[in-house]
Amino acid sequence: AIRMTQSPSSLSASTGDRVTITCRASQGISSYLAWYQQKPGKAPKLLIYAASTLQSGVPSRFSGSGSGTDFTLTISCLQSEDFATYYCQQYYSYPLYTFGQGTKLEIK
């Protein structure tokens, strides 16, 4: 099974900051990667798919990059509503998809 490793596991930042979360795959997955945001008590929300394509309705301050084994999610100017947990997911190994362990973004 393909393992997805996110770093850091948690991150403290302030409103207005630029933050980057990294996701590494245990083998090459081309660009078959998605990013999700989850707030407490809520279902995950799709932010980015195909490594860098913004889902409809997602603010442009979110961006994704990478291919192969290394990927990043960047939030360019943190807003209060962005404090949440973020997960990457590979969908290369159809349909046995796997998620990263999550990165909790907290207010400093």
Partner 1 sequence: QVQLVESGGGVVQPGGSLRLSCAASGFTFSSYGMHWVRQAPGKGLEWVAFIRYDGSNKYYADSVKGRFTISRDNSKNTLYLQMNSLRAEDTAVYYCAKCTVTTGAFDYWGQGTLVTVSS
| Residues engaged in binding partner 1 (CB under 8 A) | 1, 32, 34, 36, 38, 42-46, 49-50, 55, 87, 89, 91, 94-102
Helix residue ranges, H only, the chain: none
For partner 1, the closer of residues 38 and 69 by Cβ is: 38
**Gap between the Cα atoms of 1 and 72, Å rounded:** 21
Min dist CB 87 to partner 1, Å, is: 6
Beta bridge partners of 25: 4
Q: Quick check: 2 and 98 in contact, CB under 8 A?
A: yes
Min dist CB 53 to partner 1, Å, is: 8
